[in-house]
Structures are given as C-alpha cells and as structure tokens.
Amino acid sequence: MSRERNGTPEGCALVTGGSRGIGAAVARGLAEDGWTVAINYRSDSDGAAAVAKEIADAGGTATLVEGDVRDADALNEAFTSLESEHGPVLILVNNAGIRDDGLSPQLGDDAWERVVDTNLSAAFRMTRRALRPMLRARYGRIVNVASIVGPRANAGQANYAASKAGLIGMTRTVAVEVARRNVTVNAVAPGLVETKFTEDLNGDSLGEIPARRAGTPEEVAACIRFLASPEASYVTGTTLTVDGGLSA
C-alpha cells in the first residue's frame, strides 16, 4: 500500500443507504474521522448530495455512488471506480435496508424476497466484494446495521426479522473467517431510532423503552464509528445493541 494515514492504509469508506437517517450520520462521522466517504443511494439524490455538501463544507471529502444494492453488477462497477480514484474500500457500512410489513398469512413472496434480498443478500455481496482488497491490505472494518427485531419478535415483520437475524449470523461467521488478517466484522442492532424509516411506527412503544425516548441517528453512528476505528481492532464478531435498554 501507499502512505499510511492515522496508522491505517490509504483507502476510503463506503456507506450504503447514506442519503438520510443513520447512513447520513455515519457518513458525516467517518468524514470527521478523516476518511474519504462514498455515499451510496438508490433514489434520494437530493438527500445524498446534501450530505456530501455538509461533509465538504466541514472540510471533508465525499463522493456519490448511485445504485440499488441489489444490483450486483452496478455495485461492482462502483467498487472498481472507487478503488481507482480513492484506493480500496477499507470501511464498509452495510446500512441500506427496507421494510415491507405484514402478518405472515398475508405476507407475499414479493415482499419476502425484496426485504431479504435488500437487507441480507445484498449485504453479503457487498461484503464479499470488499473483503479481498481488505485482506490484501491486512486492514478492514465491516459494520452491518442489523436491528433488535432480529433476535426479538415483532409481529408483522417476519421478513424483516429474518433478514436482520441472518445479518447477525453472517456477521459472526465472516468475522471468524477473516480475523487473522486484521479485518473485523461487527454489527449494531438499533432499537427505535428517530428516522423516516420508523416515523410510521406506534408512538406508544416509547413507553416500553427504559430510556423513555427514541434514539438518534448520531447515537447509532457513534457506535459504528468506534467499530470502524483502529481502536476497535480486538472487537470482532459481536453485535452492539443500541436500544435504550429495550432488550435488557
């Protein structure tokens, strides 16, 4: 590799679903930590551009990567372009995710497949594509954004729960496979966080949270920033729960 920066090889960070919410907060945070950040988005070009402008105005560097994470060819091209311009992707945050809720007797195959492919299969393909350059560099950080719904039942979300539980299982297994090469793979499992993704959920659920409030994207991003840092080099294969005590 070329020059070292802050004890890590030169490269960039890629955040999927980075145009808003948790992804946007993570992109801003990683830029503050000195990384060139690639912001992936599917349709929210205005949101992604706004996040990139915030980063630039703060003195950081950001680039935009348009594409559906389910499109393996498009994302492979994006990786190749990033590697050419900014070096290997040494931090990958698999944040892109969707919901398509419904009770199991009414949950159609399309809703099942769309959620599982976006939340789990796409994260695996992104991870697989990122790993070889990370292994060559002997440095890498992969953080998967799971959910407390993975290990905790939530009626009407069988597809979402399956995808997030699978993501946690994938995290643990891949972590063991690559640990010798200074590549860590971890997950965060947020509870109720104030984003557009959760704005339609029942507000009465706040009463179930010991902290008596929803979390913020920045609070989740702070945990991801730690897991993506050199200081977290001995933390791998774990899931950090960020839920105000809901799953305690």
Q: What positions carry a catalytic annotation?
A: 160
d(CA 54, CA 13): 16
How far apart are alpha carbons 75 and 65 in whole angstroms?
9
Do residues 183 and 142 touch, judged by C-beta distance below 8 A?
yes
